[in-house]
Amino acid sequence: MDQIKLGVLPALSHSWYRHSESLLPIKAIKCLVNGIKALFGGYSVSVLDSNTQKLMKEHPNARFTKTLHKPLSAYNISIPSACKNSTCYVSNKIDKLHDEGRKLQVKLAFKQDGSIAPIPMYYSIKPWDSKNLNCKVRRSDTDTVAPGQKIVCRHFAWAYATKVFGRGKETFKTIDTPEKIQSTFANTSFFPSVHAHFYPEGFVNYRITITDKSFYADGYYFHEGAFSEALTGLVEKYWNMPAGDEKNFIFESADTRFHTMALRLKKQDGCMKVIFYDPNKTLMHRTFLLSEPGLAAHINGKDLRASHLFDGALINIDDRKKSVDECDVQCFGGSPDALRCTSAAGHGDHPRAPL
């Protein structure tokens, strides 16, 4: 079932516009009958139905439209049914997760042509089973790099992006206790993204071997409120990469403190998985399934449920460049002049980069 029950006032609103071509007395009677049905929970519509979408487009400020703009997960409906007309990968994936009893949510993307597309969202584990282990563990006093120092967001984010963990639920067990965290990050770089800028070829198993080379990375900078634009640009850029390929990004967000996260784009058949990792939710990530590239524009900071999302940057750590002139550097939501240049990209001397 993908039918959504409407309350009395939204039902009256929907019925009024639905029967707009009827004579006034007939329209009034139908609205009254439908209002009574709604009072007893008997008035339902499908937000995915073309007629409902047409009415919503024609009457964007109507009470029923505002009600139906909520995510599908706010209603007691079948999410697999809502996703059945998506791509095969998306519909099959949602069926599988539903059968496993996983918690699913679906955001509705209201597109410019008036149609509506679902964006499924889910966590790798039950959110309440995760922990916040960020900044909770210190290195041992015998650590050769930073003895006694806290293991913080930039360490977790870099390790996630470089596949130390985060590829499958079982891999999070690498860091699910303070002792394992201390062991995983023992003697590793204290500023991993900075060291990778200078020494990526020797950056094996999260350790470094110094070389005399400097490397650079594509950077996508955004002002507060423009994260959706930056994400859309990335999804469109990588939409046609082969199924199974992925791109990993260090995700830096700046408020009064700065916070480092990670973002992964993974292509599947007819689908792009946008996978977000916040070290403050240390043992899980959140996945969005996009059946077309334009749907990325509908994902915002609130959907990520990130601890911080202000001015920021997405830095591609997979495709290092030998020269700054090879970098793809873009800024979204305003002038680059006011944005902080991230050391993860090595753009301090890049002529097109924010300073």
First to last CA, the chain: 53
Residue pair 130/282 in contact (Cβ under 8 Å)? The answer is yes
For residue 149, the 8-state DSSP code is P
Q: What is the pLDDT of residue 255?
A: 60
What is the spatial order of strands in the sheet that 259-268 belongs to?
A: 104-110, 116-123, 286-290, 271-277, 259-268, 246-254, 311-316, 219-222, 329-332
- C-alpha 23/C-alpha 55 separation (Å) is 18
Q: What is the pLDDT of residue 350?
A: 44
Q: What is the pLDDT of residue 277?
A: 96
Tokens coding 313: 């940057």
Residue pair 103/73 in contact (Cβ under 8 Å)? The answer is no
Enumerate residues 6+ apart whose C-beta is below 8 A from 28.
none
- C-alpha 330/C-alpha 328 separation (Å) is 7
Of 113, 109, 104, give the one whose Cα is nearest residue 79: 104
- C-alpha 70/C-alpha 330 separation (Å) is 32
- C-alpha 283/C-alpha 280 separation (Å) is 9
- C-alpha 210/C-alpha 115 separation (Å) is 54
- C-alpha 313/C-alpha 26 separation (Å) is 57
Q: What is the pLDDT of residue 267?
A: 96
- C-alpha 122/C-alpha 70 separation (Å) is 17
Q: What is the pLDDT of residue 199?
A: 64
Low-confidence residues in the chain, pLDDT < 50? 1, 202-210, 256, 349-355
**Global pTM?**
0.80
Name residue, tokens 């009024």.
16
Q: How many CB atoms lie within 10 A of CB 348?
A: 13
Q: Where are the beta strands (DSSP E) in 257-341?
A: 259-268, 271-277, 286-290, 311-316, 329-332
Q: What is the pLDDT of residue 352?
A: 46
Determine the longest span between alpha carbons in the chain, in angstroms. Answer: 85
Residue pair 179/160 in contact (Cβ under 8 Å)? The answer is no
Burial annotation 257-275 (CB, 10 A radius, 16+ → b, else e): eebbbbbbbbbbeebbbbb
For residue 145, the 8-state DSSP code is S
Q: Write the CA distances from 284 to 58, 77, 170, 192, integer angstroms.
A: 41, 26, 10, 21
Residue pair 201/213 in contact (Cβ under 8 Å)? The answer is yes
Q: What is the pLDDT of residue 338?
A: 60
Name residue, tokens 């002038």.
335
